[in-house]
Structure 1
Amino acid sequence: MLFQDSLGAPSAISVSALSLYLKELLDTNDILQNIWVHGEVSNCKTYPSGHCYFTLKEGDAQLSCVFFKQARLRTAAPTLRDGMALAVNGRVAFYERDGKLQFYVDAVMQLGEGALFRRFEQMKARLEAEGLFDSERKRPLPQQPDIIGIVTSLQAAALRDMLRTLRNRYPLAQVILAPAQVQGADAPASIATALDLLNEHGEADVIIVGRGGGSIEELWAFNEEVVARAIARSRIPVISGVGHETDFTIADFVADFRASTPTAAAMAAVPDIADWQFELQEKQQLLTELIMEHIEDRQALLAHALRDLQHVSPQSIIAQRRQQIDECTERLQTHMQHSISLRAERLRGVSLQLHSLSPLLTIARGYAVVRQQRDEAVVTSTRQVQPGDIITIQVQDGQIAAQVQDSLEKI
């Protein structure tokens, strides 16, 4: 509503005032406070709080719906999922914070499956019957790819997430991007063409095809047959990473590996270099321990060999012989000293005996020894000398020279 002031200039009301006006307008409409609406469930999410949020679609129209936990439990409502055809009862209100109409659901009635869900099931059954989902045709992913092919939109946040994940986990890999539309009428052909181009290029070791989360309509391009057959004829292994963990598409069933999200697809495509680093550290530690153990074993063997070598070494033998010589020398010295001591004692005894028989002792008692001067023969008889002979007379303190004048025979 616009008003004019006295000067004719328009004056505007605030957003809060307009929001309040719309809310009161809807809240006071009896028809909109208790109404049944039917359509197909899309973009259904149930949070840990138990509240369920979904979009009810029919044709080109859609209505945001909220089904609170209390209402779900009170009515024993079935678990909602994308593709269900429902009739919902509740009221229409204006959610001021987000500035949008919302339908607050009080009760639901399942009408069957929606058109998109039936189409999905029919496509799935037909392609499965052809063998496109068989596990035998799925190829293993390369362990260490050099080149990663990516099929997604250039503007997609999922692309940035995948590139960041690849760079952090495995910076050795290169990336080839094949841009494609991932939503809208032209998306299926665009995705299939991008897949074919990567195969013609031929350098990629693995291909990631996908996009971020969205409603069943936004993800529908990955349910089209042209995309499924492009994945099936790819000579390069294909990883699908479409939407969130609860989202399943035909592309997921045909792909060689299904990842729950684009980020999970990037993680599945390459190894984590951090794991390699951890394993390398473990192997380095183990190798160090084995080397130290080997060195200790060799040191023990070397010590044992040195001991054996010392036993047979000439130096050892020489040392032993030297020790034996020293021992023999010591024994010989001991024996000689004992023998010398014994001989000395014997000599001392003989000396004493000779001393006792020595003529000097006799001389000391007043006797003398008479010798011929000419030959020092001892004179024991008068007949041995003649007058005029020179003789020596040995007494205790020296000798006396004398001349024989006469000799007297013993009477």
Structure 2
Amino acid sequence: MINRVVLTVHQLNDYVRVLLARDPLLQKVSVRGEISNFKHHSSGHMYFSLKDEQARIQCVWFKQKRTGAVFPVKDGMQMIATGNVSLYTRDGQYQLYVEDMEHDGQGDLHLKFEELKKKLREEGLFNDEYKKPLPLLPKKIAVITSHTGAAVRDIIRVITQRNPYVSLLVIPVAVQGQNAAEQIARAIEYANTRNDLDLIITGRGGGSIEELWAFNEEITARTIFRSHLPVISAVGHETDFTIADFVADVRASTPSNAGELAVPESINLLSMVKGMQKSLLNAMDFNINRKHHSLELLVNHYVFQTPRLLVDQHSQYLDLLIQRMNYAVESHYKHAREHMSQLVSTLQALSPLNVLARGYAIPFNEGFTKPIRSIHQLTPKQRIRLLLQDGQAVCTVDEADDASHYAEDNIRRKSYGK
């Protein structure tokens, strides 16, 4: 029986640690990755992970290993860490003991990308409310890209196949390298000065983040946002995203897709026109048939079959109206006459002539200008006039007595029967 070796956990972990320590490659290794789970301990040590799309490794950067000025470290930074790999015996976990760390150039670009993306999003440059619709049937399209790349050939090929009647204006620019972003911005501004363009396509083929960086520059993004012409961004492959994609009115996954989005296929347009033509003819037939049916109803209407009947009906209705009018006039006249009689009766009852007819007289001054209402208006030998029912008489006042004692005598006579 073969003798077996039984180790404790500590012995096994320590054995692996020694094996790692004997490997010269692992004693000075540089690892590229993204910082995550970063923690700066109160002791001064830094603990974090380096990760890529497939794996991660735990790292520790002891305070005494950091010399000179140390840049800020935070999650999301792309870094290159140099150090040795060993096993942390207690946990049985191998990790990278960092001795030095530097920015990864590619990581810096990712960081700049995220910072600019956040800035422009907060300013509202990505908002849907600013997105302009693409024209349904553009007559002329500006293509802003490299005139030697595959992207321009793909765009021209797709648009020509889909609709050969669309004109294209290729504005050649550098799509990578120094001053590429400025060239793209100036080309977009130039396109906006022309009156014969309906749409702009700008982009390039795929590449690394450095190669696509011209479409991540702030000047490119802001120029696209200011464009009054709709802009399709067609940068890289379907998995590539740039700042220009977020600002543009429409993002195409590839340059070929940009051609598809910009121009509908002529065969589809022809089919749509034929469908509209058929719908129009059907609508015309329906309307003509409906009008024809209405005309038949009118022709067969009794009014046109027996027009005299309609005249007779209206004549009868006119007689009825005249009868109603005469009755209304007579009724109104009768009511007015009765009302007038009542007014005359009231006036007659209140007329002073009726008072005179009952044997009374009304005294006036000699000039017949004022009625005499009191004995205090009279003086002896005064001439007055009396108005009677059938004329007037001139009298002379001999005496004017107070009428109160006549009233007392009348009361006394009624009381004693005298």
Smaller-chain TM-score bracket: 0.3 to 0.5
Q: TM-score, normalised by structure 2?
A: 0.46
